[in-house]
Structure 1
Amino acid sequence: MVAQTRRAMTLSGKRIIVTGAASGIGLGTTQYLLAIGARVGLLDRDEAGLQRVVAHFEGRAAPVIASADVADVSQVRRGVDQLVAGLDGLDGLVNCAGVDLLRDFEQMTAEDWQRLLGVNLMGPVNVCHAALPALKRGVNPAIVNVASAAGLRPLAQRTAYCSSKAALVMFGKALAMDLAADGIRVNTVCPGIVDTPMLQDSVRTAVDPGAAMAEISDRYLIKRAGTVQEIATAIGFMLDDAAGYITGTSLAVDGGRSFH
């Protein structure tokens, strides 16, 4: 029988860029990675939010930051170059930046589609492309794209959101094939409903916020919203060398929603 051994995560000292890092899952992932000793570069269009994150770590190992809209190729290239220089290299990338839109298909405009696809799909494409030269020089490099359970199972009034996240899942699989020869793993984490400011804002506008939250939770086998920490832990595992034989997969962290 093969001996069973416990091992620590191996992310300490790893150089990792997180997009959408000023709030929500991106912020939670940043906090998690810093807590276990990783060096983190933060990319977000919310410059004030990035400054608040840095202020929180004042006196400790603060993250490196760069402001950019992931849908803007020139901003992304400038921001990624700045972060790679600040980290002195790159071993991991987490694409968390994303936007949502709740609207009937008939009411949606071409601009709505362009914005959702521009951020949720082309954003990760742009960041991966800009980061690739540095990742090729990294140590056991890995990419984690954060999609959604809505990319695995559709939701009403979210045609653009579901389409963008489903495309992101397939992008991760195809990219894993292209980058395997470079030793770069690519995986996707698909969260279900998560207790973030985006969720809180959505529920707050309902006629009965409590009933709205109960209705949402009832779709899940685990009858609650996930926590940012639970998603961050899954992302951390996919970045870690412990997941060294995992690539091209999509991990549903969704309380059973994707099959329930």
Structure 2
Amino acid sequence: MSHSHPHPPFQPDDTRIAGRLAGRRILVTGAASGIGRAIAELFLRAGARVLALDRHRPADFAGDAELWLACEADITDPQAVERAVQSAVGTFGGLDGVVNAAGIANTDWADEVSLDDWKRVIDVNLTGTFNVCRAALPEMRAAGAGTIVNLSSGQGLQPFKQRSAYAASKAGVIAFSKSIAMEWAPQVRVNTICPGAVDTPMVRGGYTAEQLHSQVGPRYALERIGEPQEIALAALYLSSDESSFVTGITLAVDGGRSYH
């Protein structure tokens, strides 16, 4: 991606990041790749201790190995999620936050998507988010305060064709997040991020590099797709004390996709 763009992807140095999550213990799902991996890495740089959860065990992270714990678990399995939460409690002494970045895509037409595929998308993207939030809630309440950041999608705000299952699951994440933001306040703040197209393995699985440049990028007001780091920076803000008066919001980090 050319950095001649007027708003190129921001790459903060450690002096801007250090200490912003000092002392916080945060579970990040989908941490093996893509946005989830970028969030886990950025949170570690910001001083958090991170439980990196994915159905494929995340590769080792740079830096102090005592600050992170990799856990292999499927978020559609409530018992596996509960075991992961207890691993964080055993290793870190508790849990202060969650970022739900795990998700899967589907591009079938609504009249062609199989019922099994429909259920799988809802099960991972929506029910999986529910499983993690509910398992972590007692620990965040015990800590006295907590933050949840759930990853929805621009499709949850403004769907287009061949995304019926995916868009439905991601719109559900927005509504669920707003509901628990009310139910679990004031102890827990809950916010949602809606990324547009981001350069991740999941997005590249649906487009060639040329399509991303010539077809997808021009759909956006900023005329490019996003980088995982840009979504991670939004999650950092919503997981830090800097957003202390923010809960129940749905933040589009999408280069202008949702209005453009």
- 1:1-260 alignment, distance < 5 Å: 10-47=20-57, 50=58, 52=59, 54=60, 56-57=61-62, 60-181=65-186, 183-204=187-208, 209-211=209-211, 213-260=213-260
- 101-110 or 183-192, larger mean C-alpha shift: 101-110
SS in 2 for 1:218: helix
Gaps of 5+ in 2: 1-15
Q: Would the aligned equivalents of 2:100 and 2:129 in 1 still touch at CA under 8 Å? A: yes
Q: Would the aligned equivalents of 1:147 and 1:169 in 2 still touch at CA under 8 Å? A: yes
Q: Would the aligned equivalents of 2:195 and 2:254 in 1 still touch at CA under 8 Å? A: yes
Q: Would the aligned equivalents of 2:147 and 2:190 in 1 still touch at CA under 8 Å? A: yes
Change (3 A) 1:231 1:213: same
Q: Would the aligned equivalents of 2:181 and 2:188 in 1 still touch at CA under 8 Å? A: yes
SS in 2 for 1:171: helix
- TM-score when normalising by structure 1: 0.89
CA distance in 1, matches of 2:169, 2:64: 40
Aligned residues: 245
CA distance in 1, matches of 2:42, 2:158: 28
Deviation per CA, 1:20-67: give whole Å up to 9, x if none: 1001100000010001111101111002xx1x2x2x436654511221
CA distance in 2, matches of 1:127, 1:189: 17
Q: Would the aligned equivalents of 2:19 and 2:47 in 1 still touch at CA under 8 Å? A: no
Q: Would the aligned equivalents of 2:17 and 2:46 in 1 still touch at CA under 8 Å? A: no
Q: How far apart are residue 201 of structure 1 and its match?
A: 2.1
CA distance in 2, matches of 1:137, 1:11: 18
Change (3 A) 1:139 1:9: farther
RMSD: 1.8
SS in 1 for 2:98: strand
Deviation per CA, 1:157-184: give whole Å up to 9, x if none: 0100000000100100000000014x11
Change (3 A) 1:252 1:121: same
- TM-score when normalising by structure 2: 0.89
Gaps of 5+ in 1: 1-5
CA distance in 1, matches of 2:227, 2:17: 25
Q: Would the aligned equivalents of 1:66 and 1:83 in 2 still touch at CA under 8 Å? A: no
The amino acid that maps onto 2:120 is R
User: Among the aligned pairs, what percent are the same residue?
Assistant: 42
